[in-house]
Structure 1
Amino acid sequence: HTRGDKVITRKKRQRQTYRRTIGHKQHLTVVKITGISADGAKKPAKKAAAKKDDAPKAEAAAAAPVAKPEVDARGRITSLEGKPDNLKKISGVGPVLEKKLHEAGIYFFWQVAALTAAQIEELEQEMSFPGRITRDNWIEQAKEFAKDA
């Protein structure tokens, strides 16, 4: 729902009130057409067929042991392979902090859970959020999420 263009009505009266204008915006509903099919047929569902093919691959990937990527002395990943964990599940971590953690080389819950006091202090300085990790109990939450992952 939106409002249309302003409709202006002018009223002619005598003397000072001669040039009065009154405006009104009419409520209206806008319908957007995203596509028109010439034959009236719906598009075929390609996603369902793709999911059937991906099932054996997913089982093979789950059966293979997951190797932890290389970590430097600070507990940070130098080169990421695969999909990182959703760090926004941790209370107090939003999209901005998740991006800063990724820039710092922290992509997984097990990394956050394994942080030492010195690493926490260094990370908080980099992110410009002093005391955030201990105040919001990131370590405890990350340990719980790492168990589930």
Structure 2
Amino acid sequence: MYAIVEIAGQQFKVAKDQKVYVHRLQEEEGAQVSFSNVLLLESDGTVTVGAPAIEGAEVTAKILGHLQGDKVIVFKKKRRKGYRKKNGHRQALTEIQIESIAASGAKKKAAPKKASAKKAAPKADDLKKIEGIGPKIAETLVAAGVVSFADLAKSEPAKIAEIIAGVRGNHVTDTWPQQAQLAVDGKWDELKELQDKLDGGVEK
């Protein structure tokens, strides 16, 4: 039996007792976590495909530890501009072990989750209003627990860069907390004035 499940913005093919490295999770080491966004499930030769997720299916795992991945060198160069920049990056990861894959039985748990999600909905913000954040980055941030302007304002640019490291493209996060704080304070005119000076999060 195996499943394809989405964890922290990434999709993994997992089986019982398998160890997987995923983007850093918020829970403590030794904690048990569950993932209900199961996209495909195989059991006894029968394959079930979700639309997009399979209702009632759930993957449960245990957090074995938090660590950093191998260093990756990021080199940027602009031709004929004399611009060169070299940075090193180590992705923050979490090692988990799959404990169980349930084809059904998560429906009872899903009801209170939906209710709590409805209550939490007003607290969620449209992070795409921040210059430099697109739909994929917003989805990745939300999966990592950064769901509001207040969360983003309290985050360090380097930490944000770690969270979105798996998203394709060059993303400069230096001004994102500053923009988010202006949104939290309701200073939309000042935010627009700042964003007019930015291009992809970088001052023009």
Structures share fold, TM-score greater than 0.5: no
The TM-score with structure 1 as length reference comes to 0.39
Looking at secondary structure, tell me which structure has more strand per residue: 2
Looking at secondary structure, tell me which structure has more helix per residue: 1
- Answer with 1 or 2: which has the greater Rg: 1
The TM-score with structure 2 as length reference comes to 0.30
